[in-house]
Amino acid sequence: MRTRSWAWGVSLAVLGAGCGPGGSGPSPADPVGTQQQAALSYNGLSFNGLSFNGLSFNGLSFNGLSFNGLSFNGLSSPAFASWFGLDPALAAEVMHYVVLCAVPAGQTRTYTDAGTSTAYTWSGLLGLAPGWSGGAAATVAEQQLVSACLAAHTNPFGVSVPISVQGRDALGQTIPSTPEELASFTRPESCFFGNLFQGEGVYAGSQNPPLDATQSTSRACAVVDGSGMPRIECAPLVYVGSCSAVCEPDGTAGLSFLHCSTGGVTYSPITTRIRDADVAVCGDGTCQVTESCGASTTYDACAADCGACP
């Protein structure tokens, strides 16, 4: 299991507003660009920081990533240079999460922009796409898992919180989790699936205990409240309802799903868990990015934390 902050890390469109993280969870920066990007991990946990703009790519076609694989030869190809040069800042953010999702822990991928001489280093973590990581063309299973992983690392508020990533890699091997991780990340959250490489979109379902009126979370795209629906629409992510309604449970692990289906297509999914401490509660003394001023005790009018509105 790997933990990552949910911000739609690779943000689906890099929509994330540059708000600082709130709550009691870790809030490390997710640097992209000119510095080496460390894989923010702890016992398989990762931090989501992909902006929504990353998933929609603002014109950066996801097909451009499938060329020669994530080997040195692939990243040194004219096709990759052309894709990267369309929007270097966005491409660097996307690659940070692509490598984190696809490449095993302990490995890095580097690229130097010939136009600017800027060197980028991205660290692997989850190893979901072993073939693609080694330089082969991405299989359908690898495309699906990397897409799901990118979706799981997005965050509509642009903040970074740790998530526990559950599931299997493209070879069917379970993502490892430690007892400590499972003991800390006790709150089931969401399932993610789709295929950005083939233009089939990305989808999310919920499996969280519904939030009450005092609770809120920056992981709001597929976390439901008492209405049974997410509080935020996070296009291009499509909400499909309860995970259990569209997914087949992984009977051996019990923490994830083997397959999820929509529109007649079956996908390999990723499942996430979070800590109870990363769910904000009106009255905890901190005005979180998910809370608003007001004269009530609800998350959107939280007088105790955010004061009265001017």
Segment 147-194, tens digit of pLDDT: 999 999 888 887 788 889 999 999 999 998 888 888 888 999 999 999
Contacts 24+ apart (CB under 8 A), 250-254: 250/167, 250/168, 252/174, 253/166, 253/174
Residue 8: what residue type? W
Inform me whether the pLDDT recorded for 38 exceeds 60.
Answer: no
Which two structure tokens, joined as six digits, stand for 194? 């789709």
pLDDT tens, 55-69? 655 556 666 666 567
Mean pLDDT of the chain: 81
Q: How many CA atoms lie within 13 A of 81 on its CB side?
A: 13
C-alpha to C-alpha distance for 237 and 14, rounded to whole angstroms: 13
Q: Which helix (H) or strand (E) element contains residue 164?
A: strand 162-167
pLDDT score for 44: 40
Inform me whether the pLDDT recorded for 261 exceeds 90.
Answer: yes
pTM of the complete model: 0.83
C-alpha to C-alpha distance for 215 and 190, rounded to whole angstroms: 17
Helix (H, G, I), strand (E, B) or coil at 253: coil
Q: Which residue in the block uniquely carries the two structure tokens 């996070």?
A: 234
pLDDT tens, 93-147? 889 889 999 999 899 999 999 989 999 999 999 999 999 999 888 999 999 999 9
C-alpha to C-alpha distance for 63 and 68, rounded to whole angstroms: 11
Q: Which residue in the block uniquely carries the two structure tokens 């569209």?
A: 246
pLDDT score for 59: 54
The gap from C-alpha 82 to its chain's centroid, in whole angstroms, comes to: 25
